[in-house]
Amino acid sequence: MITNENKKLAQWAMDFALKNGCQDARVSLYSGSNSSLEVRNMKIDRLQQATECSLVIQLYVDGRFGSFSTNRIDRKELESFIKNGVDSTRYLAEDTARTLPDASLYYKGGQPDLELYDPKAENVNPDDKVSLAMGTCEEIMGKDERIISAEASYSDDTEFKYMITSNGFEGESSASSFSLVSSVSIKGDGEARPSSYWYDSALFYDTLIKKGLGTKALERVIRKLGQKKVASGKYTMIVDNMNSARLLSPIMGALYGSAIQQKNSFLIDKLDQKIVSDKLFITDTPHIKRASGARYFDGEGVATKQMPVIEGGVLKTYFIDTYSANKMATPQTISGPSIINLQMGDKDTDGLIAATKKGILITGFNGGNSNSTTGDFSYGVEGFLIENGKLTQPISEMNITGNMLTLWSNLLEIGNDPRPSSSWKVPSLAFESVDFSGL
Amino acid sequence: MKFNRRDFIKTGGMVMIGSLAAPSFLGGCTGSAADKAAGISFAQNHFGVSEQDLKKVLAAALEKGGDYADLFFEHTYRNNIGLQDGAVNRAASNIDFGMGVRVLSGDQTGYAYVETITLDEMLKAARTAARIANAGKTTAAVNLTEIPVTNNYYTVQTAWDEIAVKEKMPYLQKLNDKVFALDKRVNKVSASLGDSTSHILFCNSEGQMYYDYRPMVTLSAVCIMEENGKIENSYAARSYRMGAEFLTDEVIETLAKEAIEKTSILFQAIKPKGGEMPVVMGAGGSGILLHEAIGHAFEADFNRKNTSIFADQLNKKICNENITVVDDGTIPFNRGSVNIDDEGIEGQKTYIVKDGVLTSYLHDRLSAKHYGIPSTGNGRRESFRMMPIPRMRATYMEAGNVTEEEMISTVKKGIYASNFTNGQVQIGAGDFTFFVKDGYLIENGKLTQPIKDINIIGNGPKALADITMVGNNYKMDNGTWTCGKDGQSCPVTCGMPSALVSKLTVGGES
């Protein structure tokens, strides 16, 4: 919880910085708590609990910029910390692009609460936590003789943030989160001990899925048994909703102002151009109540708003913060997306599989990377071979390789099943003609 | 703000942090330079705790009947300066301060930490962690005895708090200027210099107490080059447990050259045709293969729980008898070195594979107790916020006797892998991967066309058994390798002579 004491301290830190050589400053104060409990084979394995508090102060000194953070929230120590920060910043090269945002861009308050905080986060009965984890673990125990290890964990945390700037911004936010995870290892072929997991997470305790996660984790590991590589070649690729966001991430990363300005992007000078399939519509929708990722202002205090990112395959915006905007003399947008929504189709993963004659369903990535300047990617994958609309063979130890723009231009179909707890609401996706390397 | 949300997927992996956005920190508040030579009394004074306080907190930690308790105090200050667009124009710093209490009861762990070190707060944390036990037994009071650091693997000449930002800045500027001077195609350079210094005070219910002073430096340069409208990027980085004596013209020169070499080769590089083929791992960073293919699966927590693919392989022959693999915490100034690990066990050199036989897992206290053997000193933690778990240090393969040329000459069609950015492994299934930033095709026994940006995937035990030749050119890679496991990051390194793996699956076009 952000207390009045906390707010006074933040205000004091800013005033102190301004009196000691800063022309502008931004102060953010964070506090939070977390607890977790892990159960292995019906025995408590780990218990953990803590509360935290930290302060970040960003100093704008004579056209120079430094950022300083500490968890030593004591006025006396902060005095020397801030003074040292000002001194260090003075040595740097001048950088006139470093400014606070124009005050007209700030979130001014007055909007309804986004309802991201559940007060229950601070007082869930410890016995309930134990029984949730035990119940989840019990769903696995004894259900299959190949089971080696059944684990379940419950965790909750809270995060409170308060931010002020010397040119008039003041904002605060609160969020809670609960999660229940189940994982299971079983004896596979030879020495292999394949494992899998399933989980739910939620902002509110009452909406957390509390049953069935263990059963689902067990199903997911058993269906993996007998994994093998299949022949290299081009396949239709379906990616399930646990993994699809991974493929969108390099595209979103290439839209950041810092990447564009540093030429570290494969989407430079593409605004209003068609970059990917016309089936792709992506919108940033920051103001959805009780949704993970919702916010009225970004890390600089700039007001968020609903905005199209990609429309019919045409790029509609970059994510330009104050620094990048100043550097490139281009209009500022927002420092990054909040809640990503895709225009959805009418099939879930099973529907997409049923519509595929020959392809591969991806249920997990294993390493790999994407080149930020070219969009060339290569990832390790596991999943299932699809033949005539059915999963016929579990596969693993294969790679997919290609280019992000080609991949997204070959988008075949968008599913309708994003995971509700995720801030990137990316459903299952189908792509055609993807290079798989195996045998 | 960092929360201890655990990653429940049984994977581990590492990444070269210099290739990504660097963490940012800078200046200020430290002890005096003499601190690094000081011991327990300095540390107790630094954290404002007396021996009596420590004993009281340990007693509270064991009041529910735990078998063992330890207290880990940490004060870390980190500084970072960054260069972009030709000027050192950003600075950051971070101070992190706190203590964690761990209680073990059998193989169960209770953990709590505080950021305000007062007796009351520490007692509260101790009682939270104590709840893991329910034995109703009482534990005798302990006498604390200092374990002196006898082998200091990271003696510092000039502490980072002795030099000001303005003394560090010229090195980044030189690095930038050097990279630009070396090649006309250079378009952008981002360089960053990060240093950190940690004071660690540790004590446990066995009466051991130690103080460790841990320096670290990382220097990286990301280079972006443009040629005929094509843009490519690569990077060069170094990291050591060293003081400011690390900063020399030689290291700047080396990094600048390396950044240019690694970026310029990409303009000629292609994506290879994918599939199964022999792979020659170049000397140095290829140690990522050891880290992913066997290192994580040798960490004894997974073996204690029987969830590692190597859980039944101890003392068995698992690969060619020319192969010896070491996990070493005693290499002077190495990023992975530990004088004493994070649960009071002396740093050591551990043979994990000797002459082809799996000779040891990597242990922390919990797993060592389970196996009834001494810990190998691999109990490490990211910070006072985390409990220690088995982690690698510097993992490398000792040199063999084949030249790299001989090795390449035996391959008709395959891949030579030079540089890497990241890797990952599934500990139970054994499938591991590493991402090759650049390398070459091998055709008819010769290196031919450069290649880039491909993932290679294999299965740990099989890949290890498929290493048929080991080179005579061992090299440690002193990059900014950072290993992730259970939501904790840990500095590590890896090394390797060139080695031939007869079959791995290489990503590529069909």
Same domain, B30 and B105: yes
Give B25's contacts in chain A (Cβ within 8 Å).
69
Contact A367 B313 (CB under 8 A): no
Q: Is residue B83, in this structure, part of any structural domain at all? A: no
More confident residue, A216 or B39: A216
Give the pLDDT confidence score for residue A276 in this predicted structure: 98
- Say whether B5 and A398 touch across the interface (CB within 8 A): no
Residues 6+ apart with CB under 8 A from B248: none
Quick one: pLDDT at residue A218? 96
Query: Does the CB of A70 have a partner CB in chain B at under 8 Å?
Result: yes
What are the tens digits of pLDDT across the range B202-211? 999 999 999 9
Asked whether residue B121 carries a pLDDT value surpassing 50, the answer given is: yes
Of B27, B96, B313, the CB nearest to A88: B27
Please indicate, yes or no, whether residues B222 and B354 belong to a single structural domain of this protein: no
**How confident is the model at residue B501, as a pLDDT?**
97
**Interatomic CA distance for residues A135 and A131, integer angstroms:** 6
Facing residue for A435 by CB, picked from B13, B164, B509: B509
For A12, the token pair is 């004091």
Has residue B39 got a pLDDT over 90?
A: no
Separation in Å, CA B509 to CA A266, A398, A399, B425, B506: 20, 13, 10, 23, 10
CA A254 to chain centre: 16
Q: What is the pLDDT along chain A (439 residues), one digit of tens a residue?
A: 899 999 999 999 999 999 999 999 999 999 999 999 999 999 999 999 888 999 999 999 999 999 999 999 989 999 999 999 999 999 999 999 999 999 999 999 999 999 999 999 988 998 999 999 999 999 999 999 999 999 999 999 999 999 999 999 999 999 999 999 999 999 998 889 999 999 999 999 999 999 999 999 999 999 999 999 999 999 999 999 999 999 999 999 999 999 999 999 999 999 999 999 999 999 999 999 999 999 999 999 999 999 999 999 999 999 999 999 999 999 999 999 999 999 999 999 999 999 999 999 999 999 999 999 999 999 999 999 999 999 999 999 999 999 999 999 999 999 999 998 899 999 999 999 999 999 9
**C-alpha distance from B140 to closest chain A C-alpha (Å):** 24
Whether residue A329 lies within 8 A of chain B, CB to CB, comes out as no
Residues B407 and B282 in one domain: yes
Chain B: give the shortest CA distance to residue A138, in Å: 17
Specify whether the CB–CB gap between B52 and B107 falls below 8 A. no
A46 and B187 within 8 Å at the Cβ level: the answer is no
Shared domain for B300 and B429, answered yes or no, is yes
Task: List the single best residue of A71, A87, A92 to mutate versus B (max B Cβ within 10 A).
Answer: A92
Rounded to 5°, the CA angle B255-B258-B263 comes to 125
Q: Which of B429, B489, B413, B425 is nearest to B456 (CA)?
A: B425
Q: Report CB contact under 8 Å: A71, B95.
A: yes
Same domain, B251 and B332: no
- Residue B183's CATH number: 3.30.2290.10
Question: CA A6, CA B104: separation in Å to the nearest integer?
Answer: 36
A432 touches chain B (CB under 8 A): no
**Higher per-residue confidence, B14 vs A352:** A352
Which of B321, B335, B473 has its CA nearest to residue B16? B335
Average pLDDT over residues B409-421: 95
Rama region for B101: left / alpha / beta (φ>0; ψ in -120 to 50; rest): beta
Would the CB atoms of B422 and A396 count as touching at under 8 Å?
A: no
Instruction: Return d(Cα B495, Cα B396) in angstroms, integer.
Output: 4
Shortest Cα–Cα distance, A98 to chain B (Å): 9
A367–B24 CB contact, under 8 Å? no
Question: pTM (2 decimals)?
Answer: 0.93
Chain A residues lying within 8 Å of B84, measured CB to CB: 262
Is any Cβ of chain B less than 8 angstroms from the Cβ of A38? Answer: yes
Q: A-chain residues within 8 Å CB-CB of B164?
A: 88, 91
Does the pLDDT of residue B486 top 90, yes or no? Answer: no
Count chain A–chain B contacts defined by CB atoms under 8 A: 322
Residue A219, chain B, CB below 8 Å: the answer is: no
Average pLDDT of every residue of chain B: 90
User: How far does the CA of residue B208 sit from the closest CA of chain A (Å)?
Assistant: 24
CA distance A168 to chain B (A): 24
Token couple for B317: 């022959």
Would you say residue B252 lies in a domain?
A: yes
Probe site for chain B from A55, A89, A91, A396 (most B CB atoms < 10 A): A91
Residues from chain A that touch B456, judged by Cβ atoms under 8 A, are 399
Please tell me whether residue A255 adopts helix, strand or coil conformation.
coil
Tens-digit pLDDT profile for residues B259-280: 999 999 999 999 999 999 999 9
Of all residues in chain B, the one with the smallest CA distance to A84 is B28
Sheet strands (E) in A223-338:
233-239, 282-284, 307-311, 314-315
Tally of domains in chain B: 3
> How confident is the model over B344-398, as pLDDT tens digits?
999 999 999 999 999 999 999 999 999 999 999 999 999 999 999 999 999 999 9
pLDDT score at A322: 97
Inter-chain residue contact A92 with B169, CB threshold 8 Å: yes
In a domain, B486, yes or no: yes
**Within this chain, do residues B140 and B288 fall inside the same structural domain, yes or no?**
no
Q: Among all residues of chain A, which has the CA nearest to that of B2?
A: A52
Minimal Cβ distance to A71: which of B85, B98, B509 = B98
Q: Where are the beta strands (DSSP E) in B106-242?
A: 108-114, 145-146, 186-204, 208-227, 230-240
Residue B153, domain member (yes or no): no
Report ipTM for this prediction: 0.92
- % of chain B exceeding 90 in pLDDT: 81
Position B163, amino acid: I
My answer on whether B287 and B436 are in the same domain is yes
Question: Is residue B289 domain-shared with residue B187, that is, in the same domain?
Answer: no
Residue pLDDT, tens place only, B301-336: 888 888 899 999 999 999 999 999 999 999 999 999
Residue A186 dihedral angles phi and psi, to the nearest 5°: -130, 165
- The reply to whether B209 falls in a domain is no
Residue B17, pLDDT above cutoff 70: no
Q: Tokens for A427, please give them.
A: 């459903």
List of chain B residues whose C-beta atoms are within 8 Å of the C-beta of residue A155 = 5-6
User: Would you state the pLDDT for residue A172?
Assistant: 95
Residue B205 placed within a domain: no
State whether A85 and B312 contact (CB < 8 Å): no
Q: Which of residues 227-256 of A touch B (CB under 8 A)?
A: 227, 229, 232-234
Is A195 touching B (CB cutoff 8 A)?
A: yes
Are A84 and B29 an interchain contact pair (Cβ–Cβ within 8 Å)?
yes
Q: Do B455 and A80 touch (CB under 8 A)?
A: no
At B35, list the tokens: 């601190």
With a CB cutoff of 8 Å and minimum separation 6, the contacts of A340 are A248, A252, A282, A283, A284, A309, A423, A424, A425, A426
- φ, ψ of residue B483 to 5 degrees: the values are -100, 135
Pseudo-torsion of CA B388, B394, B398, B403, nearest 10°? 140
Beta-carbon contacts of A292 under 8 Å, excluding residues fewer than 6 positions away, are A116, A177, A201, A203, A339, A421, A422, A423
> Does A263 contact B at CB distance below 8 Å?
yes
CB contact under 8 A, A185 and B307: yes
Say whether both B361 and B260 belong to one domain: no
For position A380, what pLDDT does the model report? Answer: 95
Q: Is A80 exposed, middle or buried (0-12, 13-18, 19+ CB in 10 A)?
A: exposed
Q: How far is B186 from chain A (nearest CA, A)?
A: 11
pLDDT tens for B242-256 read: 999 999 999 999 999
Q: Does A380 touch chain B (CB under 8 A)?
A: yes
Domain boundary among B223, B249, B267: B267
Residues 348-367 of A with CB under 8 A from B: 366-367
| Record: contact A401-B26, CB cut-off 8 A | no
Alpha carbon distance B320, B318 (integer Å): 7
State both tokens at B18. Answer: 């210099």
* B71 and B111 within one domain: yes
CB contact under 8 A, A47 and B131: yes
- Secondary structure (3-state) at B463: helix
| pLDDT at residue number B12 | 63
Please tell me the predicted confidence (pLDDT) of residue B10.
52
> Is B206 inside a domain boundary?
no
Contact B455, B442 (CB under 8 A): no
Q: Which residue has the tokens 């509609």?
A: A316
- Are both B178 and B37 inside the same structural domain? no
Q: Is residue B397 part of a domain?
A: yes
Strand partners, B93: A68, B79
Q: Does B320 share its domain with B461?
A: yes
Band (pLDDT 50/70/90 cuts) for residue B35 is: very low
Contact A306/A389 with Cβ under 8 angstroms? Answer: no
Check pLDDT > 60 for residue B11: no
Shortest Cα distance, chain B CAs vs residue A197, angstroms = 7
Distances (CA, A) of B321 to B299, B353, B356, B398: 22, 9, 4, 12
Q: Are B94 and B1 in contact (CB under 8 A)?
A: no
Domain boundaries, position B452: 275-507
Q: Is residue B41 scored above 90 in pLDDT?
A: no
- Cα separation, A282 vs A247, in Å, equals 14
pLDDT higher than 90, residue B7: no
pLDDT over threshold 70, residue B30: no
Are residues A401 and B455, on separate chains, in Cβ contact within 8 Å? yes
Q: Where residue B509 falls among pLDDT bands split at 50, 70, 90?
A: confident
Distance from CA of A346 to the nearest CA of B (A): 30
- B contacts of A44 (beta carbons < 8 Å): 108, 132
Instruction: Determine, for residues B453 and A70 on separate chains, whether the beta-carbon distance falls below 8 Å.
Output: no
